[in-house]
Chain A
Amino acid sequence: MTEISTDITPAIVAEHGLIPEEYQRINTLLGRAPNMVELGVFSVMWSEHCSYKSTRVHLKTLPTKAAWVIQGPGENAGVIDIGDGDACIFKMESHNHPSFIEPYQGAATGVGGIMRDVFTMGARPIAMMNALRFGEPSHPKTRHLVSGVVSGIGGYGNCMGVPTVGGEVNFHKSFNGNNLVNAMCVGLARTDKIFLSAAKGAGNPVVYFGSKTGRDGIHGATMASAQFDDASEEKRPTVQVGDPFAEKLLLEATLELMATDAIVAIQDMGAAGLTSSSAEMADKGGSGIELDLDKVPQRETHMTAYEMLLSESQERMLAVLKPGREAEAEKIFKKWELDFAVIGVTTDTHRFIARHQGKVVADIPVTALSDEAPIYSRPFEKRAPMSGTPAYDKARPVLASLEKLMAAPDMASRRWIWEQYDNSVMNDTLQHPGGDAAVVRVHGSKKALAITTDVTPRYVKADPVTGGAQAVAEAWRNLTAVGATPLAVTDNLNFGNPQKPEIMGQIVGAIEGIGAACRALDFPVIGGNCSLYNETNGEGILPTPAIGGVGLLKDHARMATIGFKREEDVVILIGETKGHLGQSIYLREIEGREEGACPPLDLAAEKKHGDFVRGLIEAGRLDTVHDLSDGGLLVAIAEMALKGGMGASVGQAAIADAVGFWFGEDQGRYLLAAPFAEAEKIVAEARAAYIPVAELGRTGGDAITLNDKDSMALKTLSAAHEGWFPRFMSGEEIPVRN
């Protein structure tokens, strides 16, 4: 591609994902027409992915503050104080579009990107989570995508030596053309060693380190801001290729450099590569930046300025050092056999300037790329929530339904997936995948972090506000169920095309719900990511605002797990059961319908019930807890029994309808198991606090027995639960559901 001289035609502007009004705005800001390089720079910086232009006005309404929040949204990741001088740094980010086009590399580089976001801030990553959504199992592409995404996550994360400790996986036909890969990384740093991206001061050297720059991933951010059609696979060259070996070296070398005091600012090169990292650093520091592109380490010959500025080659970092510290830094990167180059300098001109072969190829005011980027208050249409109570067969045998549910694609054991992830490296994994939240010890201490990712897309579809709030509440509940105090969340908003008012309505509604729940539960949002345009041929995905939550256990010896532990423990239900079946897994899997209202959420009750349960765990009085979510009460009992290798005999309480009682998805509920004497006290205390509570029965035996008459052997349930995933992935034909 020739640069600078190319005439910019309306077609070229459109290819860069810019609308005519945006192109006009660029002309106004520059006071002239941009050249090709500058157009490229604007196109990535103003892309939805980098600028949040459709969501920014709404994201601003989210609560982001609390006494323990050190860094809220706006940096590479959020930071919270977890006491004793320790900080927890975390973020979740999507890599949806690349993972659909090239699942292995797309997922792998998603993992690499989110890890860089976290170690850029000074943290050693200690845990990874993944929230994955695929199309229906019978779709011809689904197996290929599951297999590629899982191996990509494992291939990258395992090499990094960071345990992948959990996540979630859903299947639904709305994801047939757009799967979702949301990766979350949690790291640990010291509160006095947190690194930010503000390149303050002029005359400081700008240094590049890590892998060389190649032609891969050019315009990845623009691709991630567009819809798919049948020709999307042609976009494969815009997917980057990951090199976890280089990333592992980059991690160690970066942390080694951070142990010195040579760094002024640091930023990883993620979406929009060199352009975005340098422009954002200059913007946050209130400075300017000049880059000499001839100094950029290049993997290929004859790369143009346009290509270098827009490349999304992986495993690269940009830092601003204190003057005179270059040699010290270079020595560290030499030791780790990584490229290192001084490629520019900070200035006080507030301009982003790039030179190549002696010529200025871009000269843009920094604020034109940040503050002046377009922000849209897009029209939105809030549809009335889906309502009503769907009819269902009340006489259907409960245990047969349970067996079916335990083997449903959304409910079956994910062992096939997580055994491909190294989940125990670093020797601090206290709760492996398969519980309510993953728990990872703060190395060498009694403290531990609980981590979860949650959202129920079908609820969000039915009612974006309640569904958004429910995602937060479920994350809070999952952290509470292991005994952790929930501290903060990162959100990963996956939606369709925001230029459609009904999709924008989903976004606005979900953000409203997330904000309400975060405020009610004192659970601030400290970072996030938006992935819009998840549509293929005009069909959008189920709205999926994934919530990644982190909580703290002060003493991991006082932690609850889901498995039954002792015979004759009393099984106690906390929270109110009304038998809500609208939008339930039961209704979808057993009755074949996705209908009705999603379950209502009472945030005050949620908080009250959760605080009660957590208090018992913290007091060392309770070690067996499971939150109730997809599939309802009986599924939760079955999961507790399978995990503990011990059955239970339980009876119906509260309401007469067996199906509603056992499978309803009423919110704000927990199941506990405790020895008789303790259980009696717990029940009395709950009643005294006006918390709905019921004793359902006792643990023991090798079956689930209902109302002293019907029972199902654990080995039958286990076969159903463990069998589905391996059978599916081995290629067994899956019946097509209508």
Chain B
Amino acid sequence: MKAAVIVFPASNCDRDAATALEAMTGKKTAMVWHQDNELPAGTDLVVLPGGFSYGDYLRCGAMANQSSIMAAIKAHAEKGGAVLGICNGFQVLTESGLLPGALMRNAGLKFICKPVALEVTETQSAFTRNYAAGQAVTFPVAHGEGNYVADDATLDRLEGEGRVMFRYQNNPNGSARDIAGILNEKRNVLGLMPHPERAVDPATGGSDGRAMFQGLIEALS
């Protein structure tokens, strides 16, 4: 699997994503600058990392969505290529329209950094195929604006189509229907607020995130 991590100004989980991918794949991960126009040839997986792109001074992800690399990412997704948006990357994906809904300020109005218990609700995707349905996993969260909102029709549709992939067991941020991560219609674009790339090493954040990367490797190689 060839992976590319996009670097926006003030992305700050780009190195973590690359380190996790490199540990899992044994291959060098391409770091792609936001002003580039193309992804490296043969890219299988695009990761939009966490961070504070453009300082989050406007709506989170709104400025990053204007970057020139976004056209290439949209084309990649259109062709069925896998895209993983983590935290700020999830916010960029909702801003870009690749995923529905939006991420608002946490209900408690404070930044939250802690490990959270999640339920893997759907396994039908390259991202979740190596988990069991209903499996409990723990990933760290670290965000101030992770409160997922969408209108009821969209939420009904996400649930009806099996596109809610992760749910919080104790909702930390007020997200609608405890949603922590969602998939697009074609099932190749995942956005989630918790950080699977911070859960690949028992010495730091546990190892529950490994199955996501392992699943991607198996599906995309």
Contact = CB atoms under 8 A, between A and B. Distances in A.
B62 to A, nearest CB: 14
Most chain A CB within 10 A, of B10, B13, B54, is at: B10
A423 interface: yes
A159 B52 contact: yes
Contacts of B55: 159, 243-246, 248
Interface string A232-264: 000000000001111011000000000000000
Contact of B10 (A155, A245, A419, A421): A245
B204 A429 contact: yes
B20 interface: yes
Contact of B203 (A425, A426, A556): A556
Contact of B113 (A249, A423, A441, A556): A423
Interface string B36-73: 00000000000000111011110000000000000000
A430 interface: yes
Interface in A303-358: 336-337
A160 interface: yes
Interface string B96-108: 0000000000000
Contacts of B56: 159
Contact of A160 (B12, B57, B111, B144): B12
A244 B20 CA distance: 26
Nearest to A162: B12
A245 B57 contact: yes
B52 A424 contact: no
A692 B203 CA distance: 34
B205 A424 contact: yes
A154 B10 contact: no
A427 B201 contact: yes
A420 interface: yes
Most chain B CB within 10 A, of A161, A244, A245, A249, is at: A161
A419 B205 CA distance: 15
Given A158-B52, A158-B142, A248-B9, A426 B112 contact: no
B171 interface: no
A420 B143 CA distance: 9
A420 B12 contact: no
Contacts, number: 87
Contacts of A425: 12-13, 16, 50, 142, 198
Interface in B76-112: 110-112
Contacts of A86: none
Contacts of B54: 245
Interface in B142-174: 142, 144
Most chain B CB within 10 A, of A155, A426, A441, is at: A426
Interface residues on A, range: 20 to 34
B142 A424 contact: yes
A522 interface: no
A702 interface: no
Nearest to B197: A427
A502 interface: no
Given A244-B55, A422-B142, A424-B140, A430 B204 contact: yes
Contacts of A159: 10, 12, 51-52, 55-56
A336 B9 contact: yes
Interface string B107-126: 00011111000000000000
A244 B57 CA distance: 10
A154 B19 CA distance: 24
Interface string B181-221: 00000000000000101101101110000000000000000
A159 B53 CA distance: 9
Interface residues of B, number: 31
Contacts of A589: none
B15 interface: yes
A314 to B, nearest CB: 13
A424 B205 CA distance: 8
A684 B111 CA distance: 49
Nearest to A556: B203
B52 A248 contact: yes
Contact of B110 (A245, A420, A424, A430): A420
Contacts of B50: 425
Given A420-B112, A427-B20, A441 B203 contact: yes
Given A159-B56, A248-B10, A430-B203, A424 B198 contact: yes
A420 B113 contact: yes
B64 to A, nearest CB: 12
A158 B10 CA distance: 11
A123 to B, nearest CB: 15
A154 B20 contact: no
A244 B52 contact: yes
A159 B144 CA distance: 11
A428 interface: yes
Nearest to B17: A427
A158 B144 CA distance: 10
Contacts of B9: 245, 248-249, 336-337
B112 A419 contact: yes
A80 to B, nearest CB: 24
B205 A427 contact: yes
Contacts of B198: 424-425, 427
B22 to A, nearest CB: 10
B127 to A, nearest CB: 20
Nearest to B56: A159
Interface string A135-158: 000000000000000010011001
Most chain B CB within 10 A, of A419, A423, A428, is at: A419
B51 A161 contact: yes
Interface string A156-178: 00111100000000000000000
Contacts of A245: 9-10, 52, 54-55, 57
Interface in A422-445: 422-430, 441
Nearest to A557: B203
A631 to B, nearest CB: 25
Given A244-B55, A337-B9, A427 B111 contact: no
Contacts of B57: 245
Contacts of A556: 203
A245 B19 CA distance: 23
A158 B51 CA distance: 8
B50 to A, nearest CB: 8
A151 B114 CA distance: 16
A336 B54 CA distance: 11
A154 B111 CA distance: 8
Contacts of A441: 203-204
Contacts of B52: 158-159, 161, 244-245, 248
A441 B195 CA distance: 19
Given A158-B144, A160-B12, A424-B195, 4 more contacts: A245-B9, A245-B55, A248-B9, A423-B113
21 contacts: A154-B111, A159-B12, A244-B10, A245-B9, A245-B55, A245-B57, A246-B55, A248-B9, A249-B9, A419-B110, A420-B111, A420-B112, A422-B111, A425-B12, A425-B142, A425-B198, A426-B16, A427-B19, A427-B20, A427-B204, A430-B203
Interface of A: 151, 154-155, 158-161, 243-246, 248-249, 336-337, 418-430, 441, 556
